[in-house]
Structure 1
Amino acid sequence: MEDSSTRDKILKGAEGLFTKYGVRSISMDDIARHLSVSKKTLYQHFTDKEDIVTLVFEAVLSESRKEFEAIHHTAENAIDELAKLSVCLKKNVDEINPSLLFDLQKYYPKAWAVWLEFKRMCIYDSIKRNLDQGIAEGFYRPEINTEIISIVRMALIETAFDDKTFSHDKFRMTEVQMQIFEHFVFGILTDKGRKQYLRCKEKNTPETVTR
């Protein structure tokens, strides 16, 4: 039980460091120092840093999957789901270091593979299902090719993390992601969908929810 508790503590502590500072800049020494444990303790539970990185992102993406599913099951319709997802996106992006995906892609292939699988099996499926539902409900333009637009949406999410496209010195990640999200949304809405989205957006803003 103690070993399991220590392992969970290490993963949670590493997650906090990776999220705030990125993955590449955090060493095993940093993790040990942050958690007040020895490096020997880290290596008793994990093979190396990549092992920690991979397990951290498996856990993070598993939680994201549950969050997406909860939003889907509680949403009144496709538009309501979209508005709730925008709140979720903003909250998550606020907590992520902009270099995160770049670090994974370049230096941690196993963790990057976990992200690619999540993108393919969860994000793509979630977007496409929402688009198909929204078209059926009359909220989204019927001529949309949902397969193509789902792939475009996934590409846009990753583009926001690219420092060459959106310099992290000039642009805030949250603003970039939300601008891209709004651009995407208003490109798929019918007139009926636009009115419904604006109503749902107002209802689901954090300020409105916490009143």
Structure 2
Amino acid sequence: MINNTKDKILEVAESLFNRYGVRSVSMDDIARELSISKKTIYQSYKDKDELVFTFAQAHINRNRCEVTEAREKTNNAIEELVNLSACIREHVKTVNPSMIYDLQKYHPKSWSLWMDYKSEYIKGTMLATIARGKKEGFFREDLNAEILATFRVESIEMTFDGKVFPRDQFDFTEVQMTLFDHFARGMMTIKGQELYDSLIDAKSYESN
């Protein structure tokens, strides 16, 4: 029963954090949403910082599993790159930009988890995909993988910056797709571009 309550608190907290950001959501808000007392929450989590850390950990672990699964269902580096981008795009669509800011400013332990995931796992995954693409002849041999993997990771984060891409002026999905397409085509050989174009055409046909 205790674990069920703890999991339910985490589930509701995550929903509220994603919707309103972390700072705007109080323990009272979570208790009200669950129709329980705040004391019940503190029996599972000693304070809001621990709840936020657990939320960040669960969110990242789930994303990691989904990215791994997306990569495994591929026959070549082009499919892997496309699947990886689609998976990351789905992840960032659910994230409130203010949540990222709140973690950075008010919850340094949780922010450290987020940064490690970005700089180690996502960048490491991108480096592995680029290496695979070179080996298969789909990506250019002269690429500096370290620079491009870093660029890709930072360009994903840049889409959250409302000063760079204000949400009232730019469609978030279009920004993500445009930056990805620019990044992907810049790495490809002619062989890679032909396969990439065929995949994009097939996906477009399937969605009609």
TM-score bracket relative to the smaller structure? over 0.9
Asked if structure 2 preserves the Cα contact closer than 8 Å seen for 1:138 and 1:193, the reply is: yes
5+ long unaligned stretches in structure 2: none
Match of 2:117 in 1: 118
Write the mapping of 1:30-69 to structure 2, written as runs, cut at 5 A: 30-69=29-68
Write the mapping of 1:38-187 to structure 2, written as runs, cut at 5 A: 38-187=37-186
Separation (CA, whole Å) in 2 of partners of 1:203 and 1:108:
43
Q: Relative to structure 1, is the Cα distance of residues 108 and 173 closer, same or farther in structure 2, using a 3 angstrom cutoff?
A: farther
Paired residue total: 208
5+ long unaligned stretches in structure 1: none
Separation (CA, whole Å) in 2 of partners of 1:37 and 1:45:
12
- Aligned to 2:110, the other structure's residue is in SS state helix
Match of 1:29 in 2: 28
**Considering only aligned residues, what root-mean-square deviation do their CA atoms show, in Å?**
1.8
Asked if structure 2 preserves the Cα contact closer than 8 Å seen for 1:32 and 1:39, the reply is: yes
- Aligned to 2:131, the other structure's residue is in SS state helix
Asked if structure 1 preserves the Cα contact closer than 8 Å seen for 2:71 and 2:84, the reply is: no
Q: TM-score, normalised by structure 1?
A: 0.91
- Aligned to 1:99, the other structure's residue is in SS state helix
2:197 counterpart of 1:208: no
Separation (CA, whole Å) in 2 of partners of 1:69 and 1:38:
39
Higher relative contact order (CA 8 A, sep 6+): 1
Shift of 1:40: 0.7
Q: TM-score, normalised by structure 2?
A: 0.92
Asked if structure 2 preserves the Cα contact closer than 8 Å seen for 1:93 and 1:174, the reply is: no
Q: Relative to structure 1, is the Cα distance of residues 24 and 55 closer, same or farther in structure 2, using a 3 angstrom cutoff?
A: same
Separation (CA, whole Å) in 2 of partners of 1:175 and 1:156:
13
Shift of 1:173: 2.7
Per-residue CA distance 1:90-118 (angstroms, 9 max, x = gap): 32233221222222111211110010111
Identical aligned pairs, as a percentage? 42
Letter in 2 for 1:36: S
